Structure 1
């Protein structure tokens, strides 16, 4: 019956919308630098203790501090929602995020051990990418979610394509890790598009802003690491 079909369609749409919204929150851009810097530590042979120290300090710098900032911005009326969909509302959060990213280089490198140089270069890359996002956001809208998870996917794929040259790595990055990273990226792209948060063009800009610098940063880290071994 026509009425029944329409009702089912409405339920399906509602379920898909809920899933898309949930994905946008579960896969928050705030998590990416924490995961990324931890993976870099593992890739370059950090001990379990060092990885834990990096994970904790990065979580404070990239999750706790930015979350507190977002709550403050929301409470003071500087942003309308936590998603910050309006381009003009993104400048201040990104500017503060850039300051946090720069400060994190000092804080996290201080607690790092054998992977200090790799961690430092990676975090400088995070700060640089944040700066690029700030610049682009002043001119046009882009997806921060897609930029973040494109960067993470590029990092993991690079690690898979270039097996670690450290004998002390806790684990190797195989094809499975690359597939998971790419599937997460696909889920994020779908969720942002389905929620009508971004157009295809804005998603594409975000992908480029995230993936290209991340791949370049990994090349620089790998090059520096090889120089140290010579």
Structure 2
């Protein structure tokens, strides 16, 4: 059980959740999008949201700015979150512009808002759960897509609810966060996506 709970935090790591949202969008969108464009965007986003942050982490660890990938202290979080904001701005400028895929554009705007909020809280010495931020944001995006495209994804939403509970349990078990930090993290991830729905739904 101990190994299972620990593995949940790695399987549903915040780095992979944005690309999960993008893949879900392309799998459910009724619009015709050439497969070449889908592949190009998936590769570009995978590099920018997964590969690049991992490389930056190793660079920061070499420089002594971070100790572990879990970013256990608020001071360790500041530089990685700031760099992530810059990466998200590049994505919004070059990869998912509003004229191309408006749903994904606002999805990443929501991620940027959540990341900026988490950064400000880290500066204020509060450690919101980034794991909860990511799963809550993706959950709200899935919910909005189900309404937007008029599709029944109740099974997916139920699975996401279980995943959210599993991630919260894992973080508590690992003593990585307090219940308050998990709740704040969920709110930071969920609310920006909910508010931005007004601009594309």
Question: Shared fold by TM > 0.5?
Answer: yes
Q: Distance in 1 between matches of 2:173 and 2:154?
A: 28
Deviation at 1:121, TM superposition (A): 2.5
CA-to-partner distance for each residue in 1:138-188, whole Å, 9 max, x for gaps? Answer: 22111000111011111112233x1506xxxxxx45211111111111111
Moved over 6 A (4+): none
SS in structure 1 at match of 2:175: coil
What is aligned with 1:220? 199
Give the one of 14, 18, 22 matched to 2:7. Answer: 22
How many residues end up aligned between the 2 structures?
198
Structure showing greater radius of gyration is: 1
Report whether the alignment pairs 1:193 with 2:164.
no
Report whether the alignment pairs 1:174 with 2:153.
yes
**TM-score, normalising length: structure 2:** 0.89
Q: Aligned-pair RMSD on alpha carbons?
A: 2.0
List aligned pairs for 1:133-152, cutoff 5 A.
133-139=118-124, 140-152=126-138
Q: Distance in 1 between matches of 2:69 and 2:5?
A: 16
Q: Distance in 2 between matches of 1:22 and 1:60?
A: 23
Q: Distance in 1 between matches of 2:152 and 2:31?
A: 12
- The runs of 5 or more residues in structure 2 that have no matched partner are none
1:70 and 1:82 in contact (8 A); partners too: yes
CA-to-partner distance for each residue in 1:65-89, whole Å, 9 max, x for gaps? Answer: 1111111111221111111111111
What is aligned with 1:226? none
What is aligned with 2:63? 76
- The runs of 5 or more residues in structure 1 that have no matched partner are 1-15, 166-171, 223-230
What is aligned with 1:125? 110
